Structure formats: structure tokens, C-alpha cells
Amino acid sequence: MTSIALKILLILTFVLNCDVVSAMDLDGDGIDDKQTTASVADNQGNTQIAIMSSRTQKISSANLPLGRGGISQGYFDGTFDLYLDYYPDSPDIRVYSFEWSPAKEDWLLYKVSYWLDESHIQEDLLEDHSPSLPRAFKVERIACCTTFSSLKETSDIRGLKDDQARQSINEDLKKIISEKNDVGKHRKIPLHLSFEIANSINESNVREINDLAYFLYLREQLTSAAIILEALHKKYPDRVVATLNLADTYWKINMSEMACPLYMDYVDRMKALGKTEKIPKVAYERSHCS
């Protein structure tokens, strides 16, 4: 049998023995990689998630509790997020993030994230129907080298040391800032990465991060913008422009009760600075809390 025939047979076997087939570029070569999911008869509610890399034509698979979760393409080339134990009636979010490793010819786990998010839950299942942001984030960068195909619920996953984690996050932040004006980059920044950016704000990067948050606001990535701007406003409450940016973001996601006091604070401070003529008319209108 020729190598081409073997590849065709492998692909057919891969696709026909599954419940769901999809494709997106996960190994960063610009070519879609096929992914499948199939139920596993293990009495643990696991699903087999399998990915065929277009780089190697090899299949990597793992049996994990998917629920109604699945794979989402990551922000950076060659990365993806795997949503586990995801259910439409639960606010609990668990995400494992992976990046392609040419040396391993597999994806390496590099981050584990948890948070609460009620935005996807049906309104009739919620006691409080008012809009809210994701909360209670717990995000950890992971030490090498747990591969996707070796991952199990019982795997010994260890986090990076604090200084290594900060370095890894700062490297990602630099990439995001340098690429934000690239018209070809239209991927959404994942919420777990927005949380890491929010926790990285300091004197040396506060201006760049504020600009990034405003950029996300303009690109309708409103939740990520709000997460970052909340942290920025809390750490640097005297930054007047950031106050306005956060108010605008709250307003656009229908959190007017949070936005109104910020507009009022912004207007008062602009007047105190002698910049009344620079106050946008809409800020005046929205500052009248009722």
C-alpha cells in the first residue's frame, strides 16, 4: 500500500469512528487540523477528543470530561483552548490551554484556568437577571511537559514558579501589544488571558495596557476590555481617561448602574482640571444617576 493510500485510510478511520468532526488550524501552519469527538464507554462521562495535525499527519487524543465543551482556537498561532465540564446551566468554567511543540510533535499544556461566568446561562435559570462580568478567576501557567495525548484527569500538573509565570505572561503581553494594529489579527483575546493582563498592570506598562483595553473596546471585545479596565481603574483611580473608558464599556454591555457613577466622577474631575470644554456630551447625559 502506498503512503498516500495509508494516509487516506488513516483519515477515513479517524473520521468515521466519531460523533463530531470539525477543523481549524491548531498547530500554526495555516492549514486546518481535523478534530473529532466520540463518547467513551468508561462510566466516567469522558469524551475522546482527537486531533490530526496537518504538520505530521499524526493523531493526538485524550479522554476527558468534555460535557458540552470543546476546542476553541487560541489567540496565538499554534495554540488552542479546551473547555472541560462545560454545561449551559452552570457558571463554572474550566479551560486547559495548549501550544504546539515541534519537538514533541504534540501540543503541550501551558495554562489551566477556572472562573465563574453566568453570561451563557438561560435567563430563566438565573435568580439575578442583571448583566455581570466573569469573576473568581484562578489562572495558572503550567510547567513543561504534559502533552495533550498524555493528559488525564489524574495527571500530575505542576505550575510554573512565580517569576517564570510572570515572564511568560509578559512575553505574551508584548506580542499582543505589538500585533494589535495588525489588520490580519482578528482573533478574540481569551478571558483567561485578559485576566492575566489585568494582573500585570504596573507603572511601566499602564499606558500601553490602557490603549490595548480601548482597542478591545473598539473591536467589540467588551468583556475583555472591562476585565482589564476594572483592574486598571482600581490600581490607578486617578487616570481620568481610563475612568471614561471603563464607564463607556460598562454602558455598552448594559451595566448602566456601574457606568453612571463613573461618568459622574469623570465629569467632576474634568471640571476640577479646568477641562470642561473637553467633556463629551454623552458623558454629561449619562452622569445623571437615578
Q: Return per-residue pLDDT of the chain as tens, 290 residues.
A: 444 443 443 444 444 455 557 889 999 999 999 999 988 867 678 999 999 999 999 999 999 999 999 999 999 999 999 999 999 889 999 999 999 999 999 999 999 999 999 987 755 544 555 788 999 999 999 999 999 999 999 899 999 999 999 999 999 999 999 887 665 556 889 999 999 999 999 999 999 999 999 999 999 999 999 999 999 999 999 999 999 999 999 999 999 999 999 999 999 999 999 999 999 999 999 998 76
Note whether 42 and 62 are within 8 A (CB).
no
How far apart (Å, rounded) are the C-alpha atoms in residues 57 and 52?
6
Residue with cell 501550544: 99
pLDDT of residue 7: 46
| Predicted pLDDT of residue 12 | 42
Please give the pLDDT value at position 246.
Answer: 98
> What pTM does this model have?
0.88
Cell of 255: 451595566
Q: Which amino acid is at 281?
A: K
Decide: 71 and 56 in contact? Cβ < 8 Å: no
Q: What is the number of residues in the chain?
A: 290
User: How far apart (Å, rounded) are the C-alpha atoms in residues 54 and 3?
Assistant: 15
Instruction: Tell me whether residue 123 is exposed, middle or buried, using C-beta atoms within 10 angstroms of its C-beta: 0 to 12, 13 to 18, 19 or more.
Output: exposed
Sheet holding 20-24, edge to edge: 20-24, 33-39, 47-52, 59-64
Rounded CA Rg of the chain: 22
